[in-house]
Amino acid sequence: MADTTGNIEDTGVPLGGEPAPRQSLWRHIGPGIVVAATGVGAGDLVATLVAGGNFGYTLLWAAIVGCLVKISLAEACGRWHLSTGRTLFDGWASLGRWTTWFFAVYAVIWGFVYGAAAMSSSALPLQALFPDVMDLEGWGIACGLVGLVFVWFNKYGVFEKVMTVLVGVMFAVTVYLAVRVTPHLGDAFAGLLPVLPDEKGSVLNTLGLIGGVGGTITLAAYGYWVNAKGWTNTGWMKVMRLDNRVAYATTGVFVIAMLLVGAELLHSANIAIASGDKGLIQLGDVLERQYGPATGKLFLIGFFATSFTSLIGVWHGVSLMFADFLARRRGEREARGDELASGRRERSWAFRAYLLWLTFPPMILLFQGQPFRLIIVYGVLGAAFMPFLALTLLRLLNSSRTPREWRNGPLSNTMLAVAGLLFLVLCVKQVRDQPWSEFF
């Protein structure tokens, strides 16, 4: 992944770093589990189910390619943090003031709308499991407040342990469902061949599946979690790369399992479900009719674990990024990874202010619906973030900002360029598909 020629003195970072951990590398993994859990939300599971329901096993290869693309992006984020000792936002700021303005607008608008979406998504399975306790809005507010209190009072170590438990629940439920529907292994292996469905718009649908699952701002947060774990220099590079691969292998299992469920349960029986989070509630009803109440309820528990890990993951990771953004704006010329490792960012007023922003203002949207114009801007900003991430990483990791030893090699450059092009195409499609005539 790295060009190993030349010296590494051009950024002022000390040579070497901590020696590699003496214990088994597997004992140290953790941030990857967090990024996998946060990146795969209910919407991703629905998109994969719908792909399986519409096309059967045909796009299984696309789901795997998507995981490889995300591995390259997350590895690049982690490599920047470890090789330079600087945070990703500090790198962005070095590219010009436009990056600061983009992130500021993105963080405010995206956080406001995402907060409501995350609370609503976490509330849906709870309301289905306990229909007589509270309405959807009540459950949404409860989920937001629990996430706020949990992240406010706990540091990264506790946060990671809870996320690992919830990932275990997600993993067990999705694998159980994949086995329960009895997939046709021959058809599944045939789905590994790169073939496009014979339908109109199949290219864009395929690109959407490759780019959509697990691809959010949480990829950028990975480097912040790497530092919060205590990994702050190149001595941890090998551990980070293993951790990242485990993360997206886990994501791959989630995606493949849900595609199998969609192919066997929906495609075979010609059952259609909604494209939003409510599609998972419909799937729960289908599973209950097909396999009994226990399987239906188990799925709802997995649905809640999926949604709630995304909620608390964003509450923690994006708040860390926002705190770093404000620290840089206040005049800290170089935002360092060891500041994140110390835990001071998690106790800062900026971290907690963004936590409050994610929690309380979005509750208004739970009752009033999401404002039309705001949703359009939210969709455009969300579509623009991933090409922004891929293309800025290409710039940072091929320049003197990165020590020569850890700059991109041919494989990393190819993967980041492919990711940038992929997300740029999806961004253009998203912008084009917005109802702009109704905006003005």
CA angle 360, 361, 364 (to 5 degrees): 105
C-beta of residue 363 within 8 angstroms of C-beta of residue 116: yes
- Round to whole Å and give the CA distance between 102 and 116: 22
What is the pLDDT, as a whole number, of residue 201?
A: 66
φ, ψ at 435 (rounded to 5°): -75, 70
- Residue 262's nearest CA partner among 273, 248, 277 is 273
C-beta of residue 271 within 8 angstroms of C-beta of residue 265: yes
Contacts (Cβ under 8 Å, ≥6 apart) of 24: none
- Residue 130's nearest CA partner among 285, 297, 278 is 297
Q: pTM for the whole thing?
A: 0.90
- Residue ranges in the chain whose pLDDT is less than 50: 1-19
- Round to whole Å and give the CA distance between 165 and 238: 25
Q: Cα 179 to the chain's mean position, in Å?
A: 26
C-beta of residue 207 within 8 angstroms of C-beta of residue 422: yes
φ, ψ at 2 (rounded to 5°): -120, 150
Burial class (CB in 10 A: 0-12, 13-18, 19+), 165: exposed
- Round to whole Å and give the CA distance between 147 and 194: 40
Place of tokens 């799925």: 299
Contacts (Cβ under 8 Å, ≥6 apart) of 418: 69
CA angle 268, 269, 271 (to 5 degrees): 115
What is the pLDDT, as a whole number, of residue 10?
A: 35
What is the pLDDT, as a whole number, of residue 440?
A: 67
Which neighbouring-strand residues pair with 86?
336
Contacts (Cβ under 8 Å, ≥6 apart) of 101: none
Q: Can you list the alpha helix ranges (DSSP code H) found in 96-217?
A: 97-129, 136-153, 156-180, 185-190, 202-212
Grouping H, G, I as helix, E, B as strand and the rest as coil, residue 58 is coil
What is the pLDDT, as a whole number, of residue 370?
A: 66
Place of tokens 């495609």: 267
